A and B are shown apart, each in its own frame.
Chain A
């Protein structure tokens, strides 16, 4: 049994930034997981070529996770491989965590943190902040959360091995995600209010758009994410018709 060096752990942490590099429908982030874990496998199975090949093969199997939360699994599997855990036990662990790591990360980051910070940036811009401040604010605040989550996940995985469930429960991610989503909804209302308030101040005729916009909000809330494709087609088609009307008119 070997003890993982700092250099190996750092290599895995850095490679994890590329975990979705070969995303595909059959193995999802499986190839990326195997790629990120290679430094650990090379260290643990040094001088055992057949075992190293077999380990690289089994870690390239199907796996899925939110890319930031995958660090928790990478840390835990690194620790399990270092301790010489049975390959079947590691496989079962990966199967057990892939669902929760995907759904928790999606709720916390894609539906919570990212839109909330984007909308905070838009709010700043609408309040008159210069574009460079808007960009800096968004990138710094967003990535503070992003990098903190990646670092926490990897360190926790390394420290706790297959017992990472307790750490996930301790964080109560669904509750935190719901709070952040609430902030996102609040900021969306702020953006809408600022756009309308400033629009009306500039030109009272903008009030004519309130009715159609309210209808759009209602429609969006009824149809949900499925509205995106028809919306893009509809808006693009309408704009092309207006262009052509201007051309021939």
Chain B
């Protein structure tokens, strides 16, 4: 697997997260499936991306909040998972995705500090259009490099975790999925609470859950 190309892909995913466009190519669902194609297993990418998507569902980047970055983290998780497959792959993929999302949040904080130093001071004299444009585009470039370095480090770290810890995962697939579903239920609860609460949304929640439960059973 070409780590250089995957790292560049991580850089582009990081850009989409905040700096450029925000077309949501960097959402775990999309990044997971795309990474799955790259490693030759889109279904695995969908599984890891889908799980991470629910973990991040309640995080809204409102105001100046620092948020977990899903794109590079999901890419790292899927590539690590593909080295093992099965329940150990699922466990390693989600673990790397969660850890790298936290590391991404830390690197975003650092990026913002650097951007603050690069930006021309509006109260100082000598601010020109060229200085405004240069500082801004430098911020975009640094964000790309940040995403690429973060992804590269994650790919190396993920390969190590997959080869050392991965084979020792003792749980089967259903137990692993159950464990991850319990974890995902916490952000799901936070999501409902943020968007009106259980009491106000009870009809929608009841209809959706019971209807889908029956459909899931039939399918």
Interchain CB contact under 8 A, B216 and A201: yes
Q: Does B195 contact A (CB under 8 A)?
A: yes
The interface size of chain B toward A, counting residues with CB under 8 Å, comes to 105
Interface string of A34-66 (1 = CB under 8 A from B): 110010011000000000110011101100100
Chain B facing A: main interface SS: helix
Q: Mark A125-161, 1 if CB is under 8 A from B, else 0.
A: 1111011101100110011001000000000000000
Bound complex: CA of A143 vs CA of B127, how far in Å? 36
A209 and B177 CA atoms in complex are apart in Å by 10
CB within 8 Å of B: which A77-132 residues: 102, 106, 110-111, 114-115, 118-119, 121-123, 125-128, 130-132
In the complex, which residue of chain A has the Cβ closest to the Cβ of B161? A243
Contacts of B53 in A (CB 8 A): 118, 122
Please measure, in the bound complex, the distance between the C-alpha atom of A68 and the C-alpha atom of B135, giving whole angstroms: 22
Complex Cα gap A77–B190 (Å) = 38
Contact A35 B214 (CB under 8 A): no
A-B contact count (CB 8 A): 351
Q: Give min CB distance, B55 to chain A, whole Å.
A: 8
The contact string, 1 if C-beta is below 8 Å from chain A, for chain B 182-219, is 11111111111111111001001111111111111111
Which residue in B27, B95, B136, B211 is a CB contact (below 8 Å) of A21? B136
Contact B216 A232 (CB under 8 A): no
CA gap between A126 and B47 in the complex, in Å? 10
Structural contact, A18 and B165, CB atoms closer than 8 A: no
Residues of B within 8 Å of A205, CB to CB, are 174
- The verdict on A53 contacting B57 (CB below 8 Å), with A23-B139, A198-B219 known, is no
Task: Point out the residue from B36, B112, B127 that lies within 8 Å of A60, measured CB to CB.
Answer: B127
Q: Which residue of B lies closest to A142 (CB)?
A: B24
B24 A143 Cβ-Cβ under 8 A: yes
Residue B42 is within 8 A (CB to CB) of chain A in the complex:
yes
Kindly specify which of A1-9, A162-170, A188-196 makes contact with the partner chain. Answer: A188-196
Q: Please, which residues of chain B bring their CB within 8 A of the CB of A190?
A: 208-209, 211-212
- SS class, residues of chain A in contact with chain B: helix
Q: Is the CB of A31 within 8 A of B135?
A: yes
Q: Is A239 an interface residue (CB 8 A)?
A: yes
Residues of chain B lying within 8 A (CB to CB) of residue A184: 191, 195
Q: Is the beta-carbon distance between A134 and B33 smaller than 8 angstroms?
A: yes
Q: Are B137's CB and A228's CB within 8 A?
A: no
Decide if A200 is an interface residue (CB 8 Å cutoff). Answer: yes
By a CB distance below 8 angstroms, the chain B residues around A235 are 94, 98, 180, 183
- Among B20, B166, B180, B205, the residue within 8 A (CB) of A18 is B20
> Which listed residue (A17, A23, A202, A203) contacts B115, Cβ 8 A?
A23
Given contacts A22-B119, A194-B212, 6 further A-B contacts (CB under 8 A): A18-B140, A25-B116, A123-B212, A193-B214, A220-B188, A245-B170
What is A's interface to B at a CB cutoff of 8 Å? 17-18, 20-28, 30-32, 34-35, 38, 41-42, 52-53, 56-58, 60-61, 64, 67-68, 102, 106, 110-111, 114-115, 118-119, 121-123, 125-128, 130-132, 134-135, 138-139, 142-143, 146, 178, 181-182, 184-203, 205-206, 208-209, 212-225, 227-229, 231-232, 234-236, 238-240, 242-247, 249
A and B contact pairs by CB, cutoff 8 A, 17 listed = A18-B20, A22-B139, A23-B112, A25-B116, A38-B132, A118-B53, A122-B53, A138-B27, A138-B30, A139-B23, A146-B22, A194-B212, A220-B187, A220-B191, A221-B190, A227-B190, A239-B91
